[in-house]
Structures are given as structure tokens and as C-alpha cells.
A and B are shown apart, each in its own frame.
Chain A
Amino acid sequence: MTDLLAIGTRKGLWLARSDDDRRTWTLGGPHLLAQEVAAVAVDTRGPTPRVLAGIQYGHWGPTVMWSDDLGASWQETETGAIRFPEDTGAALARVWQLRPDGADRPGVVWAGCEPHSLWRSTDGGGSFELVRGLWDHPHRPTWEPGGGGGAVHTVLPDPATDRVTVAMSTGGVYVSEDGGSGWTPRNTGITAPFLPEPPPEYGQCVHKVAVDAAGPDRMYAQNHFGVFRTDDAGRSWTSIAGGLPADFGFPVVASPVTPGTAWVVPLVADMERVPPGGRLRVHRTRDAGATWTELGAGLPDGCWAAVVRDGACADGADPTGLYLGTRDGCVYASRDEGDTFTQVAAHLPDVLVVRAARI
């Protein structure tokens, strides 16, 4: 039994492995050196695990690459896995999210990209088709780019139905109940303090959304100010930020196995965007956001580095493993749902994404 932790950074990808149930880790890499790796997925549905990477070749543009031998070799589609159709007049700027669908849909991989767009692959990530239903949505011309660019950065396919949830900065949360043809904004209750009152139907700057283990209708959202929960698939959201030292942050992570359990990494904001007091901490809820507990055993003080929106993840093991990567190139792993952390890596380039899987 091996646990794999993929670490995408501004200048390459590292792969850490643990063969002792996540007690110790061996770091390997760099892979794809000098390429920005803003999106990673570990697809465990096939006979061998596939590591997918959304990369930016520095001067030479973005694409999707993959490895079926844990980084020993990498492939890419000659003509590019993601290419905007000619009639759109658009060009791919960055791959922000790669998300394999459920086991019952082998080969289906979703990609969220900049400019705001959603893509679907049926060949494991070798080629993607633009999801026209979202691209042609009448709201799209008014979705504004956030500081990092205008992108679909979160893609949550429900493996049991045709529901797909996306989140965008800015734009907010949109949901399709028919596999991607029709899309409805679902932001009621999510604030937008950077816009005049009242909060709009859409246009929120939702940084990340995670689905609770209890079922697809319950989700958590870390917003650009505010942490929220929905129990009705996004039709209404309620603040669950009470008890947190700050309601700003980028990631929110939900346990895949323990209902009601989720984590956030609060940052002082708006201008500072650093851990409160320079203490890197996660906050965990076990009751779907009613209460939060600060956790920091093994995490550093004197840390002024943020964890970006995909810089935190959970694995699928039980108890859930939790992983953090910081913009100062450190990676921390917990095998006990955040109670204690060990350092996996230090001095890497800025960590943009971490993804863990048991292979």
C-alpha cells in the first residue's frame, strides 16, 4: 500500500510517497522542472494510476500532460489537449483544475480553465471538449477576473447523477443538473463585500467549494470573506464563519469519509493575506461548521506564507489525511485529520496545488 502526494509548484512537480500508512514520506522530483503546475489530479480508476498535470511552459504556453509511470515519463497530445474552438476567438491561458469523474464514468476527466471555461474529456485527459452550455451562458461576459485571472477553478461532478457544480473567481457558484447543458447561478446567501449591497445573483468571489461526505447537497464554500454551508445543493447558503479567527482564506477541504468534517486555513485580510499572527493553523469543524477547533501541532509559528486555493487537500483514507502546501514551499501532512502534522518538504517553489491518493 502506497500513498502518493503530488505537489504542483510554480516551477515544477514533486511526488512524495509513503509506504507506512503516511507516517513518513519520501520526496521525489522535480518533474516538469521550470514549468508552472497549477493543477494536478491522480486518477486511480485505471489499471495504473495516472498523474495529470495542468502546466504552463513558461514562455511557451499552457497544456495538459500526464504520466502513467509516476513521473518517469510524460506525455502530451501533439496538438494540445485543450484548444478553444476557432469560433470562440479565445485562447487557453491556464489550466486551473483537473478532476476525474467517478468510477462509473471511466475516462471522464473535467478541467476548469482560464478564461472562464469548463472542459470534459472522455479519454482520460488526452483531449477535452469545451462545455458549450457554460461558455455560451449569457452571464459569462460579465464574469470579472479575480487577482489570479478569470477562471473556473473548482469542478465538482456528482458521480451518482448528472449534476456538475463549478465555482469561479469571480462569478460564484453555478450548477448544472443535466451534465453541463444548462447552468444556474446558486449564490443566495453568499456575500460580496467588494460590490455594492445587496449581494448580486452572481459575481461572488468564491475561492473554493467542497462536498461533504454526507451527500452531494451539503457543500462548504470559502469565499473572499465569509465561510458558508449549503444543505440544498447551493440553492441557499448560510454563514458558518462564527468561531474562526478570520473569515478570509482560499481552500476549504471536506473529509470524503466523515460527514460534517471540514477544514479551512484562515488568513488575515483584505490586504495582508497572511496567517493570523504569523501562525500557520488549520481550523476543523466536526459539526458542519457550527463550531471550529484550531489545530497546529507540527505547523510552524513565524510563518507568513499563505495556502492558496488548491494548496490543501484530503486523501480518501480512514482516518482522513490532510495536506497543506504553502507559498514559501513547505508541505505538511497529517494522518489523523489534522490533529498532528509532519513536514514532507521545505524550500520548494511556491506550492500551488497538492493532491493525495492511495495507489
Chain B
Amino acid sequence: MGVEVVLPGVLADLAGGSRHLQVEAGGGTLGELLDAVAAAHPALGRRIRDEAGALRRFVNVYVDGDDVRFGGGTAARVPDGAVVQVLPSVAGG
């Protein structure tokens, strides 16, 4: 079944023009999922995480609606069939 990754529109160009990616990486951690995303789309991958593997400070990731910052971070489990949403946080000026 895999995992659906939903991107903000501003990142769609880095994923081939689509806001929705279907990734065959369900059942593992968020970090493993993002590794798979980065392998296919390197420029997209480094918008979401830095080179040390940390989620960027103002990028929020939700697994089935839950903010991973309060649920294990990149070690959060991503079940098969999950929807993972990437959103920019409230920041800037």
C-alpha cells in the first residue's frame, strides 16, 4: 500500500510537480521514509531535513494528523497506509 506524502505547493516543483508522493516505505520510521524521499528527490529531501538528519526548525511533519515533534520525531513510526503531511510552520516576518 505504501505511504502518501503530502507536500505544500511551494515544494511541488521539487517532487516532479505533484503535491502528492506515493512512497513504498510504510512500516518503518519517519526517518526511513524521508531517506526514501530524499533518494528520489534530493533537493526536496534537504528542504525538509538538514544534512545531520534533523527536521528543519520551521518545518512541521504530521503522521496521520499527529505532529511528530510530540511523537518521536524522525523515529516516529509510519504505518503502512499512513498519510504524512509536510507543512511550513508559523514563522517569518
A contact residues vs B (CB 8 Å cutoff): 57-61, 63, 76, 78-80, 83-84, 86, 89-92
Q: Are B88 and A59 in contact (CB under 8 A)?
A: yes
Q: Taking CB as reference atom, which chain A residue is nearest B92?
A: A58
The residues of A that contact B56 with a CB separation of less than 8 Å are: 59-61
A60 near B59: Cβ-Cβ < 8 Å: yes
CB distance from A350 to the nearest CB of B (A): 11
Which chain B residue shows the least CB distance to A85?
B51
B54 close to A (CB within 8 Å): yes
Closest to A63 in B: B46
Q: Verify B46–A80 contact, CB threshold 8 A.
A: yes
Q: Are the C-beta atoms of A76 and B43 separated by less than 8 Å?
A: yes
In the assembled complex, B1 has its CB within 8 A of some CB on chain A: no
Instruction: Given A58-B58, A79-B42, A80-B46, answer yes or no on A90-B52 (Cβ-Cβ < 8 Å).
Output: yes
- Residues from chain B with a CB closer than 8 A to the CB of A61 are 46-47, 50, 56
Separation in Å of the B90 CB from the closest CB of chain A?
Answer: 10
21 of the cross-chain contacts (CB-CB < 8 Å) are A58-B58, A59-B59, A59-B92, A60-B48, A60-B56, A60-B59, A60-B88, A61-B50, A63-B46, A76-B43, A78-B43, A79-B43, A80-B42, A80-B46, A80-B51, A83-B51, A84-B51, A84-B52, A86-B51, A90-B52, A91-B51
Partner of A89, one of B11, B52, B59: B52
Distance A61 CA – B59 CA, assembled complex (angstroms)? 10
Please name the residue on chain A nearest to B46 by beta carbon.
Answer: A80
* Residues A60 and B51 in contact in the complex (CB < 8 Å), given A78-B42, A79-B42: no
State in angstroms the CA–CA spacing of A84 and B54 once bound together.
13
Which residues of the other chain, B, contact A59 by a CB distance below 8 angstroms?
A: 56, 58-59, 88-89, 91-92
- Closest-by-CB residue of A relative to B10 is A60
* Chain A positions within 8 Å of B50 at CB level: 61, 91-92
- For B48, B52, B88, B89, the residue with the greatest tally of chain A CB atoms inside 10 Å of its CB is B52
Determine the chain A residues whose CB is within 8 A of the CB of B46 once the complex forms.
61, 63, 79-80
Instruction: Find chain A residues with CB under 8 A from B88 CB.
Output: 58-60
- Shortest C-beta distance, A276 to chain B (Å), equals 28
Complex CA–CA separation, A309 to B50 (angstroms): 27
User: Could you give, for residues 41-82 of chain B, a 1 whenever the CB lies within 8 Å of some chain A CB and a 0 otherwise?
Assistant: 011001110111010101100000000000000000000000
Residue numbers in B under 8 Å from A57 (CB-CB):
47
Least CB distance from A329 to B in Å reads 14
Which residues of chain A are near B51, meaning CB under 8 Å? 80, 83-84, 86, 91-92
Residues of B close to A89: CB separation below 8 A: 52
Question: B residues within 8 A CB of A91?
Answer: 50-52, 54
